[in-house]
A and B are shown apart, each in its own frame.
Chain A
Amino acid sequence: NAGVTQTPKFRILKIGQSMTLQCTQDMNHNYMYWYRQDPGMGLKLIYYSVGAGITDKGEVPNGYNVSRSTTEDFPLRLELAAPSQTSVYFCATRPGGPYEQYFGPGTRLTVT
């Protein structure tokens, strides 16, 4: 049982490039989330999903897109990367009911 896995662990992008951050879970959780954490700041919610085919914006969605075609996967797409998107990105999942979120190990992204 791997839990929540994120790939890649590290990535350096040039301004204007695009990429997809992968998040996969094997816990059959309905709820999945993407956060970013900037230095000295708390985690901020980018997008979340309450189940396959359903996504919704969080606090900081601009510059990102998501899709949720399966329960297991919740990829985060960056189009036209900008230096402001340099951050550590965390994926999280949650089962239904009164349970808290389980986080993946994170992807450190640098845009130069």
Chain B
Amino acid sequence: DQQVKQNSPSLSVQEGRISILNCDYTNSMFDYFLWYKKYPAEGPTFLISISSIKDKNEDGRFTVFLNKSAKHLSLHIVPSQPGDSAVYFCAARKETSYDKVIFGPGTSLSVIP
């Protein structure tokens, strides 16, 4: 039973437009959420996170939105660039439990020049 779901395996976006990657979770114990980015033949790298006490966190072109009541979060990339083409993993954990991170299956983003 997947506790973190990313229902879109892939997404294509034109360069300069907004990319929106979605993630749903089922475990209400999760109170900290992360996004990782992965290029081919590399390991995932941490991108951005959000605590459940917030509903938005922004870092440059990347913004994560959290809707706790819907158990849903999304990552917005504006504007999208070809270098953003990668697999994006949504992940969740309890805020104090750094070792027990649950990952979603990932969404492959292609940004078309």
Contact check, A90 vs B100: say whether CB atoms are below 8 A apart: no
In the complex, which of the residues A33, A43, A94 has the most CB atoms of chain B within 10 Å of its own CB atom?
A: A43
Q: How far is the CB of B37 from chain A (nearest CB, A)?
A: 11
Given A43-B89, A90-B44, A100:B106 Cβ within 8 A: no
* Residue in contact with A94 in the complex, picked from B34, B91, B98, CB distance below 8 Å: B98
Residues of A within 8 A of B44 (CB): 43, 90, 103
In the complex, which of the residues B34, B43, B100, B105 has the most CB atoms of chain A within 10 Å of its own CB atom?
A: B43
Q: Which label, helix, strand, loop or mixed, suits the secondary structure of the A interface? A: strand
* Residue in contact with A100 in the complex, picked from B9, B46, B103, B105, CB distance below 8 Å: B46
Is A78 an interface residue, CB under 8 A from the partner? no
Contact check, A42 vs B41: say whether CB atoms are below 8 A apart: no
Given A101-B46, A103-B43, A40:B9 Cβ within 8 A: yes
Nearest B residue to A31 via CB reads B99
**How many of chain B's residues touch chain A, expressed as a range?**
20 to 34
- B96-113 at interface with A (beta carbon < 8 Å): 98-106
Nearest A residue to B4 via CB reads A42
Is B45 an interface residue, CB under 8 A from the partner? yes
* Residue in contact with A106 in the complex, picked from B36, B43, B103, CB distance below 8 Å: B43
Contact check, B49 vs A100: say whether CB atoms are below 8 A apart: yes
Is A21 an interface residue, CB under 8 A from the partner? no
Which residues of A are in contact with B by a Cβ distance under 8 Å? 4, 31, 33, 35, 40-45, 48, 50, 90, 92, 94, 98-106
Which residues of B are in contact with A by a Cβ distance under 8 Å? 2, 4, 9, 34, 36, 41-46, 49, 89, 91, 98-106
Closest 8 CB pairs of A and B: A103-B43, A42-B103, A100-B46, A43-B103, A103-B44, A42-B104, A42-B105, A104-B43
